[in-house]
Amino acid sequence: MKKTNLSDYDPTAVPDGSPYRIGVIAAEWNPEVTDALLQGAVDTLSEHGVKAENLLVRRVPGTFELTSAADMMLGTPNIDAVICIGCVIQGETRHFEFICQAVSQGITNVALKRERPVIFSVLTCDTMQQALDRAGGRHGNKGVEGAITALKMIAYQRSLCE
């Protein structure tokens, strides 16, 4: 991959997050990765104006549980978007394929059902090193990308109501 940091972005193109209330759900599995992704998301949201009291951070056991947790969180009317953070690393069985497919489809379904942004910040990597490279390593931080995407999608949704 030629580009070294996939999380580079133009901060002037990011909406002010001060009026937004955002949920962040992170899987406990692979904590050396998910903790870094979570920190990247929280720091970025804060840098763009999201107040600590408007940030709801929760943990779930694994990546598979992100879908139902996002649906539960969006069952409350005061959450503008949810960022789902997880990490699935290829093993020797087909479990990887089933989990990745279920979570990606599940997150899409929740977003469509709840009509609010649900952001896919789930790493699906072949190796732990690939995951670490995308969790604050040489390829940036997917949590940062998720935070920026959430802010832009909330602004987009609100622009449709203007």
Active-site residue flag, 48: no
Query: At CB < 8 A and 24+ separation, what contacts does 122-127 make?
Result: 122/63, 122/66, 122/84, 122/85, 122/86, 122/87, 122/88, 123/33, 123/37, 123/86, 123/87, 123/88, 124/88, 124/96, 124/100, 125/87, 125/88, 125/89, 125/90, 126/89, 126/90, 127/89, 127/90
Q: Which of 58, 95, 113, 138 is catalytic?
A: 95
Q: Catalytic positions, please? A: 95
